[in-house]
Structure 1
Amino acid sequence: MGQDVVLRCYLSPRQDARSLEVRWIRDNISETVHHYRNGQDLYGEQMGAYAGRTELVRDGLSAGSLDLRITRLRPSDDGRYICIVKDADAYDKATVDLEMSATGTDPHLSLGGYEARGVWVLCRSAGWYPLPQLLWRDARGQHLPSVSQTHSQDQEGLFEIEGAVIVTGSVEGPLSCVVRSSRLQQERESSLHISAPFFHNAQPWMVALALVLVLLAVSIGLGVYLFRKQEKKAAELAWRKCLLPQNTVKITLDPHTAHPLLVVSKDHRSVRRESKSQQVHNSQDRFKYWCCVLGHEEFEEGRHCWEVEVEVEGELENESCWAVGVTRASVNKKEKNYPKNGIWALMYQQGQLMPLTSRIHLPLSPVPTRIWVCLDCTQQQVSFINADNGVEIYTFTAASFNGDSIRPWFLLETEGTQLCLKDSTPQTLSPALRGSCDSPATPASPLLGPAGAAQE
């Protein structure tokens, strides 16, 4: 993170590339990272995240070198890049995988309480990418099981990880917390020695008194941090409990918006990505370049939820690409570049789930196949919840709807992938999502199925 990198690409056999058109894009989608044509750099289509951070290395163009330099690397730069070169008669491309990494801070150890003649020890470290491992070791190098472990990401995409362990008097010598990066094979370690009076040799009231004195010095800042974190989680849980299933809606697909490679069933309950374009009416409402389809329904106020169920045929799951979310009703359906402005969605690609706009991989294993999409027009917020366990996956906060109505949005980019709409009932919800709210339960929304990939 923060360093510069040069992505290598060259012509074979070597030839002068100064008169060619060169375009570097992200993944399999036409999100332009850098564009060069006829000796000039063109920035009109460049992604905002790369503004002022890219350049084509001109020194090697005459020898067929198409290298791209990216400066001040960020976690969001992690992923696959495609180098495309063409002239009037030829076209070809090559891929480069860029793996980002960042080593975080030394683990911070603190005491968290007394329980069952043992002492809670907390360990926290921040500034990592990708998500690291957190391990506990005793003086003999033996691993100790964690009683809890959580993680979060900051605005830059860096991970903070926190774990806890209960230490008893049977643990001899210093206790070590190790945070390790699997990508870099690097780790940071901190140790703590807890003296005998904290364990069973002391009277309980003496242990409690000693812990109070120690915690008084270290827990003020940690207490504020945990309080704010718990307060946020409580608010999110309240939102989910009152949102589901009382605010569920039934979503159907609008075939007039479907890309010609998508086949929508007569009852508008399913859509399938085919290999050949269908004979359809070419209207202004239909997506032209990207395999998208909208829902019939439009929302301007209130809270609304629907469930999306993803199904992928055969062995295509890890190679499939699909996305679900919402968009402004005024989204440009004829835009040649990837339609991301005014869209709030989660995308599955290369075995990873990520927000459509930031492309930060969400560390979920396994990736959920049933997702609740929750739209709050009043708060301008879009949340995605794992329907299997009720855990929040990701939330777009302070989304800018600009007074526009909002419609469900789906993307299928892989041939043979199918999206099915099914009726679900409140009984199928995870117990964590049930809860007592004032309004009576209404029928749950249809289940939405998977998506696939379209090439221009």
Structure 2
Amino acid sequence: MGALMMHVCLVAALGASLCTAAPVSGGIQVFVTPTVSVRRGHTTTLPCWLNPPQSAEGLEVRWFRLDKFDSPIMFYREKSFQDSSQKASYVGRVSFGLKNAASGGLTAGDLSLKLENATIEDAGDYTCYVSSDLSDQGYDRASVSLTVTEMGASPLLSAEWKEDHMVNLSCESEGWYPEPSLRWSDQKQVLTPKSLKYSKDSSGLLSVNSWLLASSSTEVSCTVGVSNEEPKEARLRLENHPQTESIQSSSSSVAGWVAFVVLLIAMLVLLGGLCYKKREKKKKSGNHHTNENHPLLPKEVLSTASKFNVNVTLDKEGNQYLKIKNGILRDGRCDFPDGEKVTCLTAIKGTPGFSSGQHYWEVSVGKNDPNVDQIAFSLAQNPRFYCLSVPDRRRLVCI
């Protein structure tokens, strides 16, 4: 009898103890999707729901980070949001979301957190906590890990040729989060870099830089990316030494310019010789009269020179030393400051002007001038003027 009474007392004491202790889980069970990934600046949902489903409108729901239970990012109680204790950086960016398209929302036990405009600082663990005032339900919690990603720029490849047909290749890319992986490879295998370094800018984004030595006769690729995202790749095909190509190109360019200069000098000498012979021939024949309608260049060179024909208009304003009347250049009937020397101080400007190339035009000096029957002009480049020399005269026409 005494033993039986002692057994009854022990059962009664155990029952009393169980009734006074708060249930750790009770009737509420919380389930989550353990990992979620989102692009920086985008919107995502952290799924959390009750099982079995039941309305959560009368429950207390907290979403908080780490152990910041008293500083929740979202706090719902008594069918309304409690904003007074909400963490400032999440104001206006969090609300209840739907774990899928078929969800019935809060009335069906969906406690998912909707997070807008995700930032790098948002990455980390989030706790979904639910409790009830009913003693038979208690509380429960579960955590979700959020990864925030940012796709950086496409890799930039550069090459520096070394000795023994080797190339120093460098690959760099910026604007990534979290820390990206970088992989070198050629057409046959993965390559091991000589260096791999990371750096962080003021916004928290990461840059990666790496280099290696490779054979000059191969195709190398550099791939940069973060998990769950399509990586970005750059390729470089190494064939010929660029310095050799540059030297060949430079040699070809120099040779072309030399050929052009030689041809130009030969043409000027030919034109000058033909003009001189023509002038001497006319002098000997006694023909000292200039016909304005007659070409100043002989027929044998006119066909070539006419390809570069331009119309030059002399400035009608003239100057105190030279005059233009009826389109004819005349002396100003005064003493010239340069004496017999030919300079651009006694000149007439004209348009258009030329800074390069070959140009041909004709000028009438006067119908009745017995000393001038033909004029050959050659272009003389000057930083300020382009001058036309007049053979057997002491004047210049500058444009």
What is the TM-score with the length of structure 2 in the denominator? Answer: 0.45
Larger Rg: 2
What is the TM-score with the length of structure 1 in the denominator? Answer: 0.40
